[in-house]
């Protein structure tokens, strides 16, 4: 069972990081096109304000304080309880899309829909505004990748404090009886 636990943690972590990294890679090229346009001072001002906003809201508040600790906590739970079907779906489990409390699954799915709407809106932005928006997203996602790595290492290897993995109510009741 130890091998299954290690595989669960690695697959969950790598899957989440790969998803975020792919977005950073894809959007990074679009963000870099900002430098191909003759940007005026308000474009540069908008870029700086947007970068600070996305670093704080998406990177720090969204990823570092909320998403990353929860991913690490859910991976830690999966290492201790390596259910084969959850191991196979470890990235989805780590992100809270499956085997989570109703509230967590609802929030995770709502965030996914919000992200998809924002992606569709960003795709119709004219240059250089799309590059500005994507630069902020790349910064926030990159911050998130680092936060997930740090939190996961702290929780999985150093047994650091964990947040609530937000499991379904029935699994909490079972875990409480053990």
Q: What per-residue confidence (pLDDT) applies to 176?
A: 46
Query: Structural domain of residue 105, as residue ranges?
Result: 2-177
Q: What per-residue confidence (pLDDT) applies to 145?
A: 98
Lowest pLDDT segment from 97-101, 131-135, 150-154, 159-163: 159-163
**CA atoms of 108 and 83, how far apart (whole Å):** 21
Q: How many domains does the chain have?
A: 1
Tens-place pLDDT, residues 7-17: 999 999 999 99
**CA atoms of 142 and 17, how far apart (whole Å):** 10
Which DSSP state fits 30? H
What does the block give as tokens for 20? 């975020």
Tens-place pLDDT, residues 23-74: 999 999 999 999 999 999 999 999 999 999 999 999 999 999 999 999 999 9
Its pTM stands at 0.91
Percent of the chain scoring above 90 in pLDDT: 88
Q: What per-residue confidence (pLDDT) applies to 178?
A: 39
Q: Decide: 32 and 138 in contact? Cβ < 8 Å.
A: no
Which DSSP state fits 65? I
In the chain the first and final C-alpha atoms are separated, in Å, by: 19
């Amino acid at each position: 069972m130890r091998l299954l636990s290690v595989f669960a943690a690695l697959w969950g972590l790598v899957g989440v990081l790969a998803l975020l990294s792919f977005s950073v890679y894809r959007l990074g090229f679009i963000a870099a096109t900002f430098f191909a346009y003759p940007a005026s001072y308000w474009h540069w001002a908008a870029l700086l304000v947007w970068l600070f906003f996305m670093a704080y809201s998406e990177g720090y508040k969204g990823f570092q304080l909320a998403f990353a600790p929860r991913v690490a906590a859910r991976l830690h739970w999966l290492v201790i309880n390596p259910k084969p079907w959850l191991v196979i779906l470890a990235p989805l489990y780590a992100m809270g899309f499956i085997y989570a409390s109703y509230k967590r699954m609802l929030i995770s799915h709502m965030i996914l829909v919000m992200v998809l709407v924002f992606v569709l809106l960003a795709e119709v932005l004219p240059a250089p505004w799309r590059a500005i928006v994507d630069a902020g997203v790349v910064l926030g996602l990159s911050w998130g990748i680092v936060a997930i790595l740090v939190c996961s290492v702290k929780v999985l290897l150093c047994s650091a404090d964990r947040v609530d993995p937000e499991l379904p109510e029935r699994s909490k009741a079972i875990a409480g009886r053990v």
